[in-house]
Structure 1
Amino acid sequence: MLFDRLKRFLIVLEGAERGAPAAFSPGQAVVGRVVLELAAAARCGALRLRALGAARVHWTESRSAGSSTAYTQSYSDQVEFLSHRDTLLAPPDNGEVTVLQAGRHEFPFTFQLPETLATSFEGKHGSVRYWVKAKLHRPWATVKKVKKEFTVIEPIDINTPALLAPQAGAKEKLARAWYCNRGQVSVTAKIDRKGYTPGEVIPIFAEIDNCTNRAVVPKAAIIQTQTFIARGTKKQKKSVVTSIAGDSIAAGKREVWHGRALKIPPVGPSILQCRIIQVEYSLKVCVDIPGTSKLLLELPLVIGTIPLHPFGSRTSSVSSQYSVALEWLSSIPEQPEAPPEYSAVVPSPTAEQSLAPPCRSELGAVLEGPFFAYIQEFRFRPPPLYSEIDPNPPSDGIRPRCMTC
């Protein structure tokens, strides 16, 4: 039987055989092969291949009536992204079966991924998965199956105007306890841009004013929100990716964050284009107020896959670029320094010789040569002596010209 003669039956994808995970981008070609290794000659039928990709969601909700459960409602939905079929080994047209000899047999395959695909994802109430499945049909035996999953990563380039735009917000809250007004807490926060990639550091600029009579504690965190949609109903799951805590702010005091660093850990990218599954991120700046609820300020984030370009980025503001462009002005002194005396630069014998008029024999020799040589000789004549007294003062009888006339 083939079951006893089949030693190996597996799928190999390019990029995964060298120890690297098999990851692809939308629109890319998936290349691989089905490996069939037999210990002895065996009869085989068709060898078919199928590539699938889909997003699925499922969860249940119980409705209680008093102390007992009234009913349980299930929600589920599915979106198919990829469906490809191929026959790698077809049976002969005369109705006979194919006999494969002992040894290793490889059946290559290739298929193109669609241009629009959601990133692979595993969540509590849903997933986005891609896989390749091969089926080997055998005479008088069950179908032998093998499955190989692969990852798809949708490229999200943060070098776009929408994701490079700064994000800012402000909120305030009136602290109350037992109907007593304890004052107001306000927070203003800003980040350089909306799009980031894992491993980057988000500099947070914030001002927290504590006008209450108690100390408060500011915090910042990156929140991941998974949204699952089925039959018009949404199910959400929120989790904290990373967080930092600031120093306690005393009553009536203010604290300023001058770019407090918050590093993004390795997380999956945002999923925004799938109809039934969405993965979103946000930066939350909150203030813990004793005796009342927290003050929350939320700024949207997008976790991308293509990092910020080192050149030509628009993260710096126009004002910072303007200040950098004018840095050279600070090196100009308020009072210009007078140039040195010519005698201080050139020794006196050389100066006298240079300032002396040329004799006729020398001038004649120069004029006999090319005219350009004379011009060059004139160019290197020494400059006049510097003096702070105008050698040609204006005459008293000459009326200065009015510039407005």
Structure 2
Amino acid sequence: MSSKVNFSFDSALGIYYAGQLVSGTAELITERPKTIRSIYITVNGFVETRWQESVEKPGEDGKLVKSMETHTATEIYYSSDKYVYGQSGGSQLELPKGKFVFPFHATIPPHAPTSFNGTHGQIKHEVTLTIDRAVRYNNTFSQCFTVILPNDLNVRREHLQPLKRIEEKTFWWGSIFGGNKPMVMDVSTSYSAYVPGQKIHFHLVMDNQSDVQCQDVKVRLFKNVTYRGKCGDKEQLKTTEERLADKHCGEVDKHNKAQFNDFLMVPPTTPTTLGERDSIRVSYTLRFIAKTFRLHGGGDMVVDFPLVIGTVPLLGSAEDKGPGAQKTAIPNGTMQALSAPNFQEDVSTEHFESNTFKPRYPVYLFSGQPANANANGAAISPIPSLYPKAADSLPAHPVHYTANPASPVAKPPAAGATKAPPYPVQAPAAAAAGNNFEVLGFSIPPGYQPTPTAPADGSGNIGWK
């Protein structure tokens, strides 16, 4: 390809919160002249889901026939287009070779969902530069960026409540020998909501009164994703479960009792989805498992808790010492001093079709050096700055660019020859009278002549580059 585009965002790592202004530049490099109609930049956010399932339906002869059904869903959250060179449906223009820089900016809606990339769907935010070429296929260049919908755990008081449960299970193996005593598990945590980078401290007491040996006590964090799609008028849900973290505590012999005080670290992962009818919903399960031999009957003993993952930790949770420990009192009207988070790629290895982009999520460190600091050790704000300070980034090397070409006003197209753009766009601003007018911010020198339009019958000596 004779062209390439390098996207640069004003926010470090291309990370924005919902409601912020996403801005940056698109650097277009062309190795030879091109005959084009226009260049436009699109900033948009959307969700799409897609998966296939095998179903059996009665055929013409009444017998069941297997077929594949495709379930899909698509929703556009926002879309902003700007023509940076030429106009929609305009005449052919000559784009010389060189290096050009086009700015872009758009406002992210305040309720735009968090970026996500999963097995059967994605929530994608991206900027795209499209070169609308005459006759030949368009050149399209895209770059994803991360959007985070804030989820402050302090908004809901129930997140301060601990997770606590006592469960027991009996096995038919013990009844064979005249005993039917249970295996009892008593588990608790400090809170019911956490953030990535935080330790989930748990207290677990395993009272194994049964005649069955507990091979291992496991604690696992699972990510549950529910995809919503349609096949015709029928709505279908698809749910996946992925293990994110695992802790092996140890075995407990029969007629023995053991106590475990440990923790599980929350890795960089998608915050819990707040909406109930979203096309993609993310939730989490904290699971405690007492592993037993299958021969003993009844299966493993399992205790599940729903867990919330947010983007702002609970006040006082930085001093968490585990369930039962005295919690630090936070006076009303005061804020806890928190280390600013850094932003790390999603730990999940799943991705939607060919999209390998990994969103970055806020990760906190609750002791020691701040999780995100500049070269001087000063903490950087947890909210990405639209205009980072020089101290927070390395100095950029000087780059020489070709002056952006002027965009001549295209001649009115013939009736019926206007082609609708791929996205809705604003009407172009009217040109000022005179020879020295300005279009889209670029001044046109006097005497400039655009490349002649190709004849309708295809004759002429214009070469398509």
Judge same fold: TM > 0.5, yes or no.
yes
Deviation at 1:283, TM superposition (A): 1.0
Q: Provide TM-score, normalisation by structure 1.
A: 0.67
5+ residue gaps, structure 2, are 58-62, 330-465
Once residues 44 and 90 of structure 1 are traced to their aligned partners in structure 2, the CA distance between those partners, rounded to angstroms, is 9
Partner of 2:308: 302
Q: Say if 1:316 and 1:194 are closer, same or farther in 2 by CA, change over 3 A.
A: same
Compute the displacement of 1:72 (Å).
Answer: 2.5
Match of 1:247 in 2: 250
Task: Say if 1:175 and 1:289, in contact at 8 Å, map to a contact too.
Answer: no
On the 8 A contact 1:198/1:267 being kept in 2, the answer is yes
SS of the residue 1:248 aligns to: strand
- Residue 237 of structure 2 corresponds to 234
1:225-273 per-residue CA deviation (whole Å, 9 max, x = no partner) reads 111122432211112212222232222222222x312222333332342
Structure 1 residues 69, 288: CA separation in 2 closer, same or farther (over 3 Å shift)? farther
Partner amino acid, structure 2, of 1:61: E
1:49 pairs with 27, 41, 55, which one? Answer: 41
Secondary structure, counterpart of 2:252 in structure 1: coil
2:122 to 112, 118, 127: 127
Unaligned runs of 5+ in 1: 324-405
2:193 aligns with 195
Whether 2:155 is the aligned partner of 1:153: answer: no
Tell me, yes or no, if structure 1 residue 76 matches structure 2 residue 82. no
- Please name the residue that 1:110 is paired with: 105
Q: Deviations over 1:322-355 (max 9, x none)?
A: 99xxxxxxxxxxxxxxxxxxxxxxxxxxxxxxxx
Bigger CA radius of gyration: 1
Q: Is the 8 A contact 1:56 1:78 kept in 2?
A: yes
Query: Residue 212 of structure 1 aligns with which residue?
Result: 210
AA at the equivalent of 1:155: P
Aligned match of 1:183 = 181
Choose from 8, 11, 22 the match for 1:30. 22
For the residue of structure 1 that corresponds to 2:145, the secondary structure is: strand
**Which residue number corresponds to residue 170 of structure 1?**
166
Q: Separation in 1 of the partners of 2:251 and 2:201?
A: 20
Change (3 A) 1:187 1:48: same
Across the two proteins, how many residue pairs are aligned to each other? Answer: 313
Given that 1:91 and 1:97 are in contact with CA atoms closer than 8 Å, whether structure 2 keeps it comes out as no
Contact 1:11–1:32 (Cα < 8 Å) also in 2: no
CA distance in 2, matches of 1:169, 1:234: 30
Residue 60 of structure 1, aligned match among 8, 32, 52: 52
CA gap 1:68/1:50 in 2 versus in 1, 3 angstroms: same
RMSD: 3.4
Matched letter for residue 294 of structure 1: D
Q: How far apart, CA to CA, are the structure 2 residues paired with 1:53 and 1:215?
A: 53
Normalization by structure 2: what TM-score? 0.59
Q: Per-residue deviation at 1:186?
A: 1.8
Question: Within 1, Cα distance between the matches of 2:324 and 2:265?
Answer: 26
CA gap of 1:277–1:96, structure 2 versus 1, over 3 A, is: closer
Change (3 A) 1:251 1:125: same
Matched to 2:154, the amino acid is N
C-alpha distance in 1 between matches for 2:227 and 2:126: 22
